[in-house]
Every structure is written in C-alpha cells, then in structure tokens.
Amino acid sequence: MKPWHHYLRSALFLVVVGTAWYLPRRAQRRLSAWTARFVHRLAPRLRRRIEKNLTRALCGEVAPAELRASVRAVLTNYGNYVLDFLALSRGRSKDVQCSRRGEHHLRDALATRRGVILVTAHLGSWEMAALFLADHAKSITLVSRAEEIGYLGEMRSTIRSRLDHDELLVGKDPMAALALLGRLRAGGMVGMQIDRAVGSSFLSVPFCGARFRMPRGPARLAHASEALVIPVFALFADDGGYELVVEPSIDPRGLTEAQILARLAAVLERYVRSYPRQWLMMQDPWDDSPAAAKAADGERRDAVGTAP
C-alpha cells in the first residue's frame, strides 16, 4: 500500500493541472508558488530530503531562513517545469522562450556520426531540454523510469509522442540496451539522466564534498557504442524563459566507467552549486555508507594536502 502523501501529491497534481490548463503563464507561476507553500507545510519528509540535498550542494553553510526559502523555490520551480511541459499539449510551446549556448558542441558531435548520448539531470527542466534540441535530429530516444503518478506518466508519454520523441522506460523491456545501441550506432541521439540511480546499478562518485550514487547506464552505453557523451541543461532564466546550455563532449575511448562518471559528476556539481534552487531532486541520491564516508574523508584530506 502506498503512503498517504502519495495520494495527497496525486490529488494536488490533478487540481493544479486541471486549474492551470487555461491560465496565462504569469498566473501559472503564481499558482506554482502557492502550491509550493502548501507542499512545504504538509510534506515534512519530502522537505527534509530537499533540505539535505541543498545543504550539501551549498557546502553545509545555509542559514535556516535561507534554507526554508530555497526549499520553497525548489518546489516552485518543480511546479513551473510541470506546467510548462503540460502546456506543450495545448500547443503553447511558442509561449516558452529559450536562449541557447554551446550548441556547436552538439553539431560537431553529430557530424562524427558516432552517435550522441545527451545526459542531463533534474536541473531546470529536463523535458524542455529535449524539446529545444529536437531540431538537431528527427527524433531523440528518451530513457526514463516510470512515473509514480500514473496519469502524469501517461501525459508525459503522450506529449513526447507528439513531439516525435521515442520513450524507453527503464525495466520495461529486457532488450532495451540493444535498441539504444542500435540507435547510437546509426548516428542518433539518446537522452539519459545522471542524478537518479535505479536499483543497484550505480557507482559511488565524489560530489559536493560527499559521495553520490550515479547511474552506470550512460557510461556503459558509451563504452559499448563509443558514442560521445554531452551534458545538456535547460535552466530557468530570469526573464521567465529558459537557457539551453550544451557542454563540450566527453569521448569515452580510453576512459573507464568510473572516469566517465567522475567527469559527469564534476560537470553536474558545477551547475548544482551555481543553481541550487533549480536542482529538483526530491529523492536522496547520496551514498552515506561507511565505505563512502571513508572515501569522502580521504578525498577531502587529499584536496587540503594539494592546495597551494
């Protein structure tokens, strides 16, 4: 049986989505802020998880008032992401403005015809990143896990289909890896997330002064296909739109899985520290095992020892 807060969140999504369909975008933003305050008060377990993530992202130096405001901002941004994404099904994508930076990295990678693995995170809007990049290829295969709220997952699948994006749900198809490999070897694009591990298929990597459970999928797929790995983020901009940022590619040839994931973790850490209120991570992604804690302590000592 699912916990009570699952049903609360499902009901809240239904009310918000049903109310927001016809609201102008500015009113949707106010609705997100109001809903965030409601969730902040009624979901203490969720609040504590976000507090832990933000505290580590901000090096543990966060005043209580700032932490409280930051948690509300995370929840507000999550609401903004959901409503912007659902607005696509109403043909309102023109309402969402986007500036772009670093797209030449993707063009150069696609020109090699080795395939491209786009890696992103729960930072800003991961769905919008795929939308903004769609003009670089006819289709992107998006790898996701099943949505906990069933009807939201159905909406997500429908919208992705309308945008000509393929969808592959983790754990649903035992032949999924072969399908992804075929797409990459044909020079196509695959989109994956790097900040939420599913099951035990992860490596513990240094991240924000601690250890982070990063899924092994992107590194394994890069090794098998020799596709280039490119971090991509669609960040909330001050003008209410988005900024699409494409990072330089990582060539997996000659690198171990651990080295690929360490490089990705370093990129992600840079963005999370720069935009902590946009890190919409509502799970606990940290590896707090004794072995991980010992490794993190050793890394901190090494960093102090090598400091000028």
Residue-wise pLDDT tens digits, 18-66: 666 667 778 878 888 888 888 888 888 889 999 999 999 988 778 999 9
pLDDT (tens digit per residue) in 147-170: 655 556 666 666 666 666 777 677
In order of 86, 94, 134, 254, the CA distances from 222 in angstroms are 31, 34, 21, 11
> Taking CA 239 as the corner, what is the angle to CA 63 and CA 85, rounded to the nearest 5 degrees?
90
- What value does the mean pLDDT take over residues 265-270? 97
Distance CA 258, CA 264 (A): 10
pLDDT in the model for residue 250: 98
pLDDT(130) > 90 = no
Mean pLDDT, rounded, of the chain: 82
Residue 307: predicted pLDDT = 53
Comparing 16-25, 105-114, 196-205, 245-254, which segment has the lowest mean pLDDT? 16-25
The confidence score (pLDDT) of residue 276 equals 95
Q: Please state which of the ranges 8-17, 182-191, 206-215 shows the lowest mean pLDDT.
A: 8-17
Compute the residue count for the chain.
308
**What is residue 161's predicted lDDT score, i.e. its pLDDT?**
67
pLDDT at res. 89: 61
Angle at 175 between CA 171 and CA 178, to 5 degrees: 120
Confidence tier at 100 by pLDDT (50, 70, 90): very high
Find the mean pLDDT for residues 112-124: 94
Is the Cα torsion angle 71, 233, 283, 141 positive or negative in sign? positive
Distance (Å, whole) CA 295 – CA 188: 37
Using the 8-state DSSP alphabet, how is residue 194 labeled? S
Our measurement of the distance from residue 52's CA atom to the centroid of its chain's CA atoms, rounded to an integer in Å, reads: 17
Inform me whether the pLDDT recorded for 230 exceeds 80: yes
pLDDT at 58: 86
